[in-house]
Copies of this chain bind each other. A is one copy, B any other.
Amino acid sequence: MQNLSASLRVGILGGGQLGRMLLQAAANYTVETFVMENDPECPAAHLCHHFIKGDIRNFEDVYNFGKGLYAITIEIENVNAEALEKLETEGVKVFPRPSVLRTIKNKILQKEYYKSFDIPSAAFIVTNNLNELKEQEDFLPAVHKLAEGGYDGRGVQIIKEKLDIEKGFAATSVLEKMVNVHKEIAQMVAINEKGETALYPPVEMVFDPHLNLLDFQICPAELETRILWKVEAIALSVVRNFKSPGIFAVEMFIDRNGDVFVNETAPRVHNSGHHTIEAHYCSQFDMLWRVILGYPLGNAEQILPSIMVNIVGDNGYSGDVKYAGLEDVLKIESAFVHLYGKKQTKPGRKMGHVTIMSRDKQELLHQSNKIKYTLFARS
């Protein structure tokens, strides 16, 4: 009898909310879990079998953590890929493969990856200093992105016109032609070691037009069938060409002509898959465990349409968190509240999320607006 039930030892690099939710899902199986993170009070620290304090960007720390594990995965890209490569050569399974991390961590390599596989993505130019940037006036409007080290909005600068050029980066960067975005979507795709894939329905990001903040995320995205098929084909192409098992969030823009452009790919569980915990048969977290443990892929289909609202630290508040309006949101009958257990809030920090489920889109929009104007992470 194939022993799928052995308690395999699996490590997660990073102990934030994605690690936390991965560990909630892990407890449906028999896996023995390890987490490495510098902060012993991080959201995932208490939910694993073994917490190891360490620096996920440090070669020795990551290598020592991974030695002897059956498999290792990440909840953030900013990890030591060299250590993962060494672990891989020594027989530890790494999800995603370190080669994927190398490609994705460097924005130039990522753009070249899309280009080499004919995956549509905005045209780009590499600049190494501000002088080179100044020569690209005809290429504007564009987005300037640091090749390495950018994260969560940092290292990205919009260069609309000549006057903005001085805001650009002096270091090696990618200058991407700005897409006239009609819709911003993301599609989660899982792929196992046999190359079998499971596609979640794409989600649509809804932004606050004034603040340019992500307000909520609707699943499924409202797309014409011909565009949905294009999106799915592109997402599959992104994921398959990496030649790596794992789960991937492919972020895409759709312009007014219905052309689709890949913006970025995250080779891990992702914010744009949180709604799958309740609204889909197999959550993104369950799906990644199935990939890692060699189980069959799960069913990515939705049970009900959903909206996911991020709870981020409110502007003007830093310190011990209090959730204003929590009681009112807990009263909403179709709402699922997730607080990440972070003790400190600061403006823009991801503190939790709420998923709402309903067959009725107007009801979804009504409730998510209510949540947005009710629930605040303050101090």
Closest to A21 in B: B27
Given contacts A48-B46, A281-B333, A304-B303, contact A295 B27 (CB under 8 A): no
Can you name the residue of chain B whose Cβ is closest to the Cβ of A43? B27
* Cβ contact within 8 Å between A30 and B339: yes
Contact between chains at B337 and A28 (CB < 8 Å): yes
Q: Does A330 contact B (CB under 8 A)?
A: yes
Decide if the interface of chain A is mainly helix, strand, loop or mixed: loop
Q: Which residue of B lies closest to A376 (CB)?
A: B1
Closest approach, in angstroms, between the C-beta of A326 and any C-beta of chain B? 5
Question: Which residues does chain B contribute within 8 Å of A113, judged by CB atoms?
Answer: none
How many identical chains are in the complex?
2
Q: Are B5 and A330 in contact (CB under 8 A)?
A: no
Mark A325-337 against chain B: 1 for CB-CB distance below 8 A, else 0: 0110011011011
Which positions in A face B, CB cutoff 8 Å? 1-5, 7, 20-21, 23-24, 27-30, 33, 46-49, 281, 290, 295-296, 298-299, 301, 303-304, 321-324, 326-327, 330-331, 333-334, 336-339, 341, 343, 357, 378
Given the complex of chains A and B, what is the CA–CA distance between A119 and B336 in angstroms? 35
Contacts of A47 in B (CB 8 A): 23, 27, 46-47
- Using Cβ atoms and an 8 Å threshold, which residues of chain B touch A48? 46
Given contacts A28-B336, A47-B47, 19 further A-B contacts (CB under 8 A): A1-B322, A4-B326, A4-B327, A5-B321, A5-B326, A5-B339, A7-B343, A23-B47, A24-B24, A27-B341, A281-B357, A290-B330, A295-B327, A296-B327, A299-B333, A299-B334, A301-B333, A303-B304, A303-B357
Query: Chain B residues with Cβ under 8 A from A281's Cβ?
Result: 333-334, 336, 357
Residues of B within 8 A of A28 (CB): 336-339
- In the assembled complex, 28 residue pairs joining A and B whose CB atoms fall closer than 8 Å, in A order, are A1-B322, A1-B324, A1-B378, A4-B326, A5-B323, A5-B326, A7-B341, A7-B343, A20-B27, A21-B27, A24-B27, A27-B47, A27-B341, A28-B336, A28-B337, A28-B338, A28-B339, A29-B337, A29-B341, A46-B48, A46-B49, A281-B357, A290-B330, A295-B326, A295-B327, A296-B330, A299-B334, A301-B333
